[in-house]
Amino acid sequence: MTAEPVETPTTKTRYDADVLATLTADATAIMARYPDPRSGLLPMLHLVQSIDGYVSRDGILFCAEMLGITAAEVSAVATFYTQYKRHPNGTYTVGVCTNTLCAVMGGDAVFDELSEHLGVGHDETTDDGAITLERVECNAACDYAPVVMVNWEFFDNQTPETATALADKLRLGEDVVPTRGAASVCSFKQMSRVLAGFNDGRADEGVGAGAPTLAGLRIARENDWTAPDASTSEPVAEPVETGPVGKPGSSAERPTATSSDTEVGKDKKPGEDAK
């Protein structure tokens, strides 16, 4: 029997006591990973999705209460990233890559066919709650275009026909096997728990890089090509001073707020930068 929702003085959420206790223990573990606990907000939102299937009103309140921030601050983050769902998600997110390369290789046709076949558009869920269809951006799998992701597992080199057959299997509850990576596809809630940082032990399943990805390496080995020896290569020119912000290079390699950062532009006459 499911416990009745509780409203205690310490929470405005309506989670029942058991769920709240589990959520609190998991969120505490997440917060402990970071020097500043509020850095744990992103995985905590995935944790909420692993329980509710989306970032619910209660999930937002829970994160705010745990981190000592406002619900508005949590919402601002949750609405920024497309991986956080503001309405109940299907058991499977079927994401069709319609970024440039996949699009020209047939991704747009795959999406259109799936959309018509399932009767839903972008970010909409089938009536049976099985599939949420999405257009997704490049998944760094362009060598397998067009790519379809099911709960972030790869299904490479798709066609409208293979994609609709895949969707039909998912709706029937049949097992599907990703082209690479894990040997099976878990549910949206299970995947969300992994994204919250709780290992399901499947990260090393299957091959990560297929033949197209390794083609360059294979050709190099067949031809005995190697990278130039850095010690005998032409010397690289020294960085040049470019102005008051210091030497060029990654901003990550220097302190965040040097005096030259804060002094930029100070005491300059209008138009001096253009000289």
Choosing from 23, 41, 77, 97, the residue that interacts with ligand FES (CB under 6 A) is 97
**Contacts with 212 (C-beta within 8 Å, 6 or more apart), sequence order:** 143, 144
Determine contact, residues 152/191, Cβ cutoff 8 Å: yes
Nearest approach, Cβ of residue 261 and ligand FES (Å): 36
Strand residues in the chain grouped as ranges (E) = 92-97, 124-125, 131-136, 148-150, 153-155
Closer to ligand FES by CB, 53 or 107: give it.
Answer: 107
Question: For the window 150-189, what string marks contact with ligand FES as x by the rule CB under 6 A?
Answer: ----------------------------------------
Nearest approach, Cβ of residue 155 and ligand FES (Å): 12
Closer to ligand FES by CB, 124 or 143: give it.
Answer: 143
**Contacts with 140 (C-beta within 8 Å, 6 or more apart), sequence order:** none
Choosing from 142, 165, 176, 245, the residue that interacts with ligand FES (CB under 6 A) is 142
> Per CB under 6 A, which region of 135-143, 218-226, 234-242, 248-256 contacts ligand FES?
135-143
Nearest approach, Cβ of residue 109 and ligand FES (Å): 14
Nearest approach, Cβ of residue 141 and ligand FES (Å): 4
DSSP string, 39-52: GGHHHHHHHHHHHH
DSSP string, 185-221: ---HHHHHHHHTT---S-TT-S-SS-HHHHHHHHHHH
Residue 139 in contact with ligand FES, rule: CB under 6 A: yes
Q: Which two tokens stand for residue 160?
A: 């409208």
Choosing from 30, 110, 147, 196, the residue that interacts with ligand FES (CB under 6 A) is 147
Backbone angles phi, psi at 148, to 5 degrees: -120, 135
> Per CB under 6 A, which region of 19-27, 81-89, 93-101, 125-133 contacts ligand FES?
93-101
**Contacts with 240 (C-beta within 8 Å, 6 or more apart), sequence order:** 247, 248
> Per CB under 6 A, which region of 138-146, 239-247, 249-257, 264-272 contacts ligand FES?
138-146
Residue 74 in contact with ligand FES, rule: CB under 6 A: no
What three-state secondary structure class fits 229? Answer: coil
Closer to ligand FES by CB, 212 or 244: give it.
Answer: 212
**Contacts with 105 (C-beta within 8 Å, 6 or more apart), sequence order:** 145, 146
Nearest approach, Cβ of residue 148 and ligand FES (Å): 10
Residue 109 in contact with ligand FES, rule: CB under 6 A: no
Answer whether the bond into residue 146 is a cis peptide, omega within 30°.
Answer: yes
Interface residue list for ligand FES (CB under 6 A): 97, 99-102, 138-139, 141-142, 145, 147
